[in-house]
Amino acid sequence: MIITDTHTHLYSDSFDEDRREVIQEAIDNNVKRFFIPAIDSETTRSMYDLEKAFPENVFLMMGLHPTHVKENFEQELKHVEEELSRREFYAVGEIGIDLYWDKSTLEIQQKAFRRQIKLAKERGLPIVIHCREAFKEIFEVLESEKDDKLFGIFHCFTGNLEQAKKALSYNMKLGIGGVVTFKNGGIDKFLNQIPLEEIVLETDAPYLAPKPFRGKRNDPVYILKVAEKLAELYDIPVEKVAEITTKNSKEVFGI
């Protein structure tokens, strides 16, 4: 059994004291593939260090996170473009729109999102979308960019069934993490109406730890709790969840 974590911030300083140990624990428990999203230029070096330490298990993305789209976003986008041209990445991410923290930056967030979608299309790469309180705005951009080159993952999906189906219509898989285990998370009520072939697993570590670890640091091994919840919702063995969702991740990332 191989489990793929399609979204984890293992370079976070939350892991500075025990990073190697928590990653090794996950690997020992069949979590063997970690896809690492970028935040901004300040995270690039630590991402490369992580890849060097675990070259068989760590796969990198490059992008500018919407909450880090500030006055210097043009400079940050230049960094993204330069890195994408310099070496191999497996996705452009995480990118998108976040209106939870700062609505005043919506216009430049939209610009940065569109620009990075175009960078992904030029290189035949998937995008990994961050959406917080911005489904309408995200879907508007995706509608205008929709073509056969647009594909990827709707990271940390927390919408309703209608929004899930709309996300799928843009050739996105749904990234499902700890929220599916929350009592009031909502997505557990309808998720089994979405084919498992449209879903990938993720932790978003160190954030959004699943039950019974909610509120604590989310360790990569906790993705097993997400896989177990999906096994319950789809009424299939956890090994089958791991097999199908890892196959789905390979379709998206090409590895």
CA distance 21 to 19: 5
**Residue carrying structure tokens 């293992």:** 10
- Tell me the per-residue pLDDT of 23-38, one tens digit each, with 9 for 90 and over: 999 999 999 999 999 9
CA separation for the pair 30, 125 (Å, rounded)? 26
Distance of CA 180 to the CA centre of its chain: 15
- The pairing of strands 92-98 and 152-154 is unpaired
Question: Total structural domains in the chain?
Answer: 1
Beta 152-154 vs 127-132: how paired, if at all? parallel
- Distance CA(113)–CA(63), nearest Å, equals 10
- Domain with residue 235: its CATH number is 3.20.20.140
Helix (H/G/I), strand (E/B), else coil: 68 = helix
Q: Is 134 within 8 Å of 97 (Cβ atoms)?
A: yes
Q: How far apart are CA 71 and CA 125, in angstroms?
A: 27
CB half-sphere exposure, 155, CA atoms < 13 A: 30
Q: Round to whole Å and give the CA distance between 155 and 139.
A: 14
CA distance 110 to 132: 13
Range of the domain at 127: 3-253
Considering the chain, what percentage of its residues have pLDDT values greater than 90?
98
Residues in the chain, how many? 255
- How far is the CA of 20 from the CAs of 25, 50, 106, in angstroms? 9, 9, 38
**Which one, of 232, 233, 202, 235, lies nearest residue 220 by Cα?**
202
Are the C-beta atoms of 49 and 24 separated by less than 8 Å?
A: no
User: pLDDT 10s digit of each residue in the chain, 255 long?
Assistant: 999 999 999 999 999 999 999 999 999 999 999 999 999 999 999 999 999 999 999 999 999 999 999 999 999 999 999 999 999 999 999 999 999 989 999 999 999 999 999 999 999 999 999 999 999 999 999 999 999 999 999 999 999 999 999 999 999 999 999 999 998 889 999 999 999 999 999 999 999 999 999 999 999 999 999 999 999 999 999 999 999 999 999 999 999
Assigned token pair, 131: 């959406």
- CB contact at 8 A, 111 and 150: no
